[in-house]
Amino acid sequence: MNLYELAEQYKFLYDFDFSEEEEDLWMAQLEVLDDAIELKADNIARLILDIEGMMEARKKEMERLKMANRIDENKIKRLKSYLQDAMERSDKRKFKTELFSFNIRKNAPSLLVESEENIPDEYFKEKTEIKLDKRELLADVKEGLIVDGVSLQRTESLVIR
């Protein structure tokens, strides 16, 4: 029986009007349902812990793989730099092999800013960001501030320890 069905049976038993003679039977059935719900809750909590453990393991594996990628990217940069240096030193800026073609090309011009002190103001752009401060608004609404379209909401959440 699933947890939903157990909860429905529990509600039915709780709402049902038993006579005094049936009270022992009623209490026994409630205890059985309580035990079943608690067993299901334990199993669900174990499953949650297992899933959280798998998520943490995947997170660590993703970090490990990101680090491996960064290491490989750095290797590629070093190898390209090594090859380019060798080509420049030997004055072989362009050649072909059976598998690949190699050449050193001129890249598009890029800006190198050593100091921003002498750059005219017209090249600076102002960046403004307007963002709702939910913490401050929450504190003010809790103190009685009324704002259209804003209300306090209280939710519930399950805590498993």
pLDDT single digits (tens) 64-92: 999 999 999 999 999 999 999 999 999 99
Q: What is the pLDDT of residues 22-39, one digit of tens each?
A: 777 777 777 777 777 788
Q: Do residues 150 and 141 make contact, with C-beta atoms less than 8 angstroms apart?
A: yes
In a domain, 40, yes or no: yes
This prediction's pTM = 0.58
Percent of the chain with pLDDT over 70: 94
Asked, for residue 28, whether it belongs to a domain, the answer is yes
Specify if 157 maps to a domain.
Answer: no
How confident is the prediction for the chain on average, in pLDDT? Answer: 87
In a domain, 75, yes or no: yes
In a domain, 154, yes or no: no
Provide the number of structural domains found in the chain.
Answer: 1
Buried b (16+ CB within 10 A) or exposed e, 8-34: ebbeeeeeeeeeeeeeeeeeebeeebe
CA 29 – CA 96 distance, rounded (Å): 85
Whether 57 maps to a domain, the answer reads yes
Residue 85 sits in which domain range? 3-104
Please tell me the predicted confidence (pLDDT) of residue 42.
86
Q: Is residue 46 included in any domain, yes or no? A: yes
According to DSSP, residue 27 is labeled H
> Would residue 91 count as lying in a domain?
yes
Highest mean pLDDT among 19-23, 65-69, 147-151: 65-69
Neighbours of 37 (CB within 10 A): 15
